Amino acid sequence: MRLINLLLFLLIFGNIVVLSGPNDTEGEYIDDEFEWVYLNLDLSYGSGGPGGALGVRYRFLGVAISATGFANDIPNTVPQMGNVNNLQQKTYPSNTVCADFYGYYDLDEVSLFASLGFYASVDSVLRWDMDNKVYYKGDVKSDEGVCFGLGAQMPLTFLNEDNVYLDQLVGGIGFHSKLGIFLRIAYRW
């Protein structure tokens, strides 16, 4: 089932990439919009805590590196002395790093995007002593796999139409399977 979902997503992602390319039937496609390079900054919040991403887009393809969980609050621990009977394990999300490839589909003023990538995460597993009310150091749990995201972005020209510098800013919103909901600000040059 997981393989079928992955293949279905790749098919949709591939269609977005193919459909967003030049579509001039005469072969003389000239549009300044496709010559822009965008630098993206994403700020996110999800189950792994606050995070961020940096990326670049050229034409209808992009790439981004993201991280989350560096600001998570993990309780202080003490070394475990001897045998303790009444322990309960608790997992705290620590760090997740993702590398994503993006495909963009440009409409009139809005660009839709989808991403597919790879993630690696490390979680702290602590042992809670219910009798003494302290945490003991536990194990580290690592995980890796496939991640994805979807979103939309548009130029921020509505903020101030007379300011030339605002014409180069693009804002967006999206969802990423590991980062959660994110806000995007992009600069094009």
Please write the tens of the pLDDT for every residue from 9-51: 555 655 544 444 454 444 444 455 556 799 999 999 988 889 9
Question: Which backbone phi and psi does 67 adopt, to 5 degrees?
Answer: -145, 150
Cβ(149)–Cβ(100) below 8 Å? yes
Beta-sheet strands, E only, within the chain: 37-46, 49-58, 61-68, 87-106, 111-129, 134-136, 140-155, 169-176, 180-188
The confidence score (pLDDT) of residue 119 equals 95
This prediction has a pTM of 0.71
Please write the tens of the pLDDT for every residue from 79-108: 776 677 777 888 878 889 999 999 999 888
> Hey, which CATH number is domain 36-188, 2.70.98, 2.30.29, 2.40.160, 1.10.10?
2.40.160
Average pLDDT (149-172) is 79
Question: Which backbone phi and psi does 41 adopt, to 5 degrees?
Answer: -130, 120
Cβ(65)–Cβ(22) below 8 Å? no
Is a pLDDT exceeding 50 seen at residue 5? Answer: yes
